[in-house]
Structure 1
Amino acid sequence: MRRYIVIFSLIAVSAIVGISFYQPPMRLMPAPALFLNGQTNTFSDAPETTDPQISLFYATNRLPIGPRDNRIYTVVPGRDLNLGVATIRIGNETTTWERIYEWSTGASDDRRPFLHLENMAEQASLADTNPLPEEASAWFAQINDALAHSRNKDIIVYVHGANTTVERAAGQAAQLHHFTGRDTVVVLFVWPTAENFLRYTRDMITSLGAAPHLATLIELLAKNTSAEKIDVLTYSAGATVGSNGLALVGAKARDQGPEGFRLGEIYHAAPDADFRSFVDDMRVYAGQVRRITVGVNLSDAALRLSQFVNRASRAGRPDMAELDTEATDWLLGAAADYGLNVVRVRPEGIPGLSRGSHTFWYDDPWVSSDVLLTLFWHLRPGDRGLVEGNSRSGTPYWSFPPDYRNRLAAVLARLQGEKPRVPSEAVK
């Protein structure tokens, strides 16, 4: 009997180790509810969008190796901020735009294709930003050109989570660009992760070290581009990077004024950040942004494990008892004073969403639609079809009602004719 237990344990350990090193590319996410049933959508409004390849701006503090026109970024933190353009392909070389359109509008039930990272072309490396090197100026000029040809005039900075390869991070950010009909500018911030969940605690250390690089990126985008606002979407442990980075920017913005860095929508999806530190950081930057949205699933299995490892609640599964009276009072008043919106993702009320989902921002059509409506159309929760409630502690929150599809149809009807355009027919 003991022999079988030993064999079983070895097999289990081998499986865990194998899974920890296995990082497949991202698959194209399910079509947001905005696009379901093949209705008119952002792809219809952008007829030039017929390329299976996606070009994506990126910035990273990972240590680079290889030629600059085909960089590989290691798991080791570097000192410089590297800027470039990545190329991601949807599917393989034989995948046609017609098939991609079907997947992207919900018209196809086939297994969704992988998003493959084909190339990362580094254009500039910044050890110092004063003066700005000519190569960096050219990179910002490309962003300005993209903004000039986009109907959405904000820049969205995407910050990925822990245990994430560069390819998976690029795939996640590419989804944002793709599902607007390629009609917005997205900049991926790639911070160093060990790409192995057994090294999770190490990732949390490097996340703090990456925060100043993110702050520098935001400041440079504000200074060197024509963007109306700089929006930030963080996912999972990316919230630790983003929260700290935004606090650094917010502290400077207090002296320069909110228009200095033009911070817009801040959206933290399933934030894996220390709850107390997360609130402290918000208190620094909340007055400098358009709105803060925090998407939480209180049954989030990944954050439950993170809470056990870190011995403190996470911002995506917060424990109000950890806050002192002053922080609690600030948080309870932040919705009215600073536009803080907590969106409760309740799996029991969303069709097909697993109870412990941590990936809901891109895996669920309802939630991804809400992310798009927040980042691209800057709608308040009530105007996005959500309903308001209050937790036992008195914290206000928003959630998806059972009739969300009908409410979404009404939202789309109100947006009819506005730019960027959205589906013109009701969602069934």
Structure 2
Amino acid sequence: MDVNLDSVLESLNKIDNDLFCTFSTFSKYHVNIREGKVYFSTGGRERNVELDTLIDLIFDVYTLRSFYYEDYRRDYANAAYLIPVAYYVLNDLGVELLKFEPPTKGWDKVIFEVENIHSQIDACMFDAEDTADVYHKSAAKLFDADYAKNSLAYGTPNISPTKLITQRNETLVDVHYSTNREYDESAKEYTSVKCNKNRYGVACVSVPETHRSGNIEKPKWWKLELTEKRGKHFVVVETTEQKPDIFFSSLKTKNESKRVLVFIHGFNVSFNEGLKKAAQIKYDLGVDFPVVLYSWPSLGKVSGYIKDKETALYSSNYLHEFITKLNAEGYEEVLYIAHSMGNLCLSEAVNQGFNQSVPSSRAILAAADVERQTFLDRYAESINSFFNHVSLYVSSRDRALLVSKKANKEIRVGDSTDNSVFVCDHSETIDISDNDGGFWSLKHSYISETNVVLNDVYFNLIKGLKASERRLLELQNRKNQIYWKFHEA
């Protein structure tokens, strides 16, 4: 289940005078929620906090992936009582908590103290079944009562504390890239200035060990995190520019599958942000073959929308050149993911045609910021001719495309508002409106932000299963055209 405001409230609604214990002093207390407040009862004393405060802490724990008390004590006066409730909620929502930062005293101390509590349980100081119920009232399917009683905090699986504490490392992910951005030698970075040629290279991106699928961990300004930190955030460690022949040769090194995945980013994306997104997609999909970012020189800011549209069209020539060279390398299969305005760049590139045989290829066109009629009249035929299989991922709640619709005075391919799901012959449309990111999301980058969509992308793009072969619900739009949607959880 996704962690969003609705699911958190649903989980909190299950709490009814439940017994909890703190992770620091292991003091026992009961929790009630009523009239917008959370009440903690310890013996004859009762204190309360606003429900919004608890919800804020739950999302902080989920974002920071930490139960470490010091991370929260300055922002939350009753953090010691709130943290165990956050554990209960996230566990109830099926979040894997094994790799979260442990409580203040570490797992060893917690286990020791819980064993002392167990002895009190046996002495009938309070009911063991009630205690086990604290964290597993709604998760009994995961742990039986005996297992809950004999594991950390009445539910965390028995694991090596040392392993958890020391595994605060990183995974280094290689991302190949081609770009028509200029390179600033003094700043040592690719800019938003157009280059009159493609440049090639490979980047190394650090993915934190605590990475949560669908997320790109970044510094949080409200946590006074001003710089990126390896092992905690996504960090571009280095980029190494290569000559074209070395670049294309490196794509084939240790590539037994003879496949490659090309990702074309959208509007408002800097070069480094594009690398991080490509690395996240590669990591979360478990891809064991090269992923190439094609990065056109977006300005990397919201105010640059009109300029970015012109640049995406301009860059299509260079993307066409790159695809032409890639086709000549003899791959068995080339996969494509284009996002947002990247679809305009890809569509225009493919529309130029290729005077060569092309490898088998599949494409996902996600949140396509292309006018519908233009797509049908100008691009659909060439796209369906070039790709063996095309999937359009659309949403009715994509806030970025709603803005684009107003700015361009035309509805976009990726916009399914007013029950007008766009369907094109010889392609499949998947409407993900109910699975498009959390409460605070712009709901535009859903292709890589939610696990249910990532899972579908995996079976679609990597495994090559058609919509009828995946767990999707077949529906019809107002024109009686077939499209697909995820089953309700």
> TM (normalized to structure 2)?
0.58
- Name the CA distance, whole Å, in 2 between partners of 1:345 and 1:173: 21
- Per the TM alignment, residue 313 of structure 1 is displaced from its structure 2 partner at its CA by 1.6
- Per the TM alignment, residue 113 of structure 1 is displaced from its structure 2 partner at its CA by 4.4
The answer to whether the 8 A contact 2:271-2:295 is kept is yes
- Per the TM alignment, residue 105 of structure 1 is displaced from its structure 2 partner at its CA by 11
- Per the TM alignment, residue 72 of structure 1 is displaced from its structure 2 partner at its CA by 1.3
Q: Say yes or no: does 1:378 pair with 2:475.
A: no
2:199 is paired with a residue whose SS is strand
- Name the CA distance, whole Å, in 2 between partners of 1:343 and 1:223: 32
The answer to whether the 8 A contact 2:268-2:298 is kept is yes
1:142 is paired with a residue whose SS is helix
The answer to whether the 8 A contact 1:154-1:227 is kept is yes
- Name the CA distance, whole Å, in 1 between partners of 2:252 and 2:454: 27
- Per the TM alignment, residue 384 of structure 1 is displaced from its structure 2 partner at its CA by 1.7
- Name the CA distance, whole Å, in 1 between partners of 2:390 and 2:340: 16
| Structure 1 stretches lacking a partner, 5+ long | 1-26, 29-34, 40-49, 92-96, 125-135, 323-327, 404-428
The answer to whether the 8 A contact 1:147-1:227 is kept is no
The equivalences for 1:267-416 within 5 A come to 267-279=364-376, 280-317=378-415, 334=425, 338=426, 340-347=427-434, 357-403=443-489
Q: Which amino acid aligns with 2:177?
A: Y
Change (3 A) 1:319 1:52: closer
- Per the TM alignment, residue 229 of structure 1 is displaced from its structure 2 partner at its CA by 1.5
2:248 is paired with a residue whose SS is helix
RMSD in angstroms over aligned alpha carbons?
A: 3.2
1:166 pairs with 256, 261, 271, which one?
271
Tell me what 2:89 maps to: none
- Name the CA distance, whole Å, in 2 between partners of 1:220 and 1:318: 35
- Per the TM alignment, residue 367 of structure 1 is displaced from its structure 2 partner at its CA by 0.8
- Name the CA distance, whole Å, in 2 between partners of 1:355 and 1:399: 20
Which structure carries more helix by proportion?
1
- Name the CA distance, whole Å, in 1 between partners of 2:180 and 2:351: 19
Change (3 A) 1:227 1:203: same
Change (3 A) 1:231 1:105: closer
2:250 pairs with 142, 164, 171, which one?
142
Tell me what 1:52 maps to: 171
2:234 is paired with a residue whose SS is strand
- Name the CA distance, whole Å, in 2 between partners of 1:180 and 1:146: 19
Change (3 A) 1:371 1:105: closer
Change (3 A) 1:201 1:350: closer
Q: Say yes or no: does 1:177 pair with 2:263.
A: no
Change (3 A) 1:105 1:310: closer
1:317-373 deviation per Cα after TM superposition (whole angstroms, max 9, x unaligned): 2699x9xxxxx9xx66x1xxx3x00000122x7795779611211111111111111
- Per the TM alignment, residue 402 of structure 1 is displaced from its structure 2 partner at its CA by 1.4
Change (3 A) 1:61 1:357: same
Tell me what 1:13 maps to: none
Q: How many residues align?
A: 313
Identity of aligned residues (%): 22
Query: Which structure's CA Rg is the greater one?
Result: 2
Q: Say yes or no: does 1:242 pair with 2:359.
A: no
